[in-house]
Amino acid sequence: MVIETFALEPPVNETLVTTCQMFLVPSTILFAAVGVANTRFVKLLVCLLGVAVAGLWIYRVWLWTGLSLIDRRTGVGLAGLFAFCWVLTLLHQLMSMVSGGYDRR
């Protein structure tokens, strides 16, 4: 018995996949950099870089002409997820700089 699989949607745009990887790799490396940074200032700078990379990623996918609706939503959703995490991380770093954080006495 042979079971055939039918694609309900057209395949994902390969250029979109490559573009998302181009932004996904630095964003992931920057998340690791926040964890190993020694000072609050360095963590803040890494967070700013992460927000900038995620913002550029959203901008690039949002203004991409010729993408299907599902590809655009997938790309913006993935970029938005990372942007949301970066904004939360940046807000946490800003709050810990202002208030008495974990390394203040």
Domain holding 89, by residue range, is 14-98
**For residue 33, what pLDDT is reported?**
94
Measure Cα distances from 96 to 20, 31, 72, 88 in Å: 31, 17, 36, 12
Residues 54 and 84: their CA atoms lie apart, in Å, by: 9
> Could you tell me if 26 and 53 are in contact, meaning their C-beta atoms sit under 8 angstroms apart?
yes
- The answer to whether residue 1 is domain-embedded is no
Residue 9 in any domain: the answer is: no
Residue 103 lies in a domain: no
Domain contains 104: no
Report how many domains make up the chain. 1
Confidence at residue 103, expressed as pLDDT on a 0 to 100 scale: 58
Report pLDDT for 59. 96
Residue 34 to residue 28: CA distance in whole angstroms? 10
For position 44, what pLDDT does the model report? 93
Considering the domain boundaries, does residue 5 fall inside one?
A: no
Sequence-distant (6+) residues with CB within 8 A of 96 are 40, 102
| pLDDT < 50: residue spans in the chain | 105
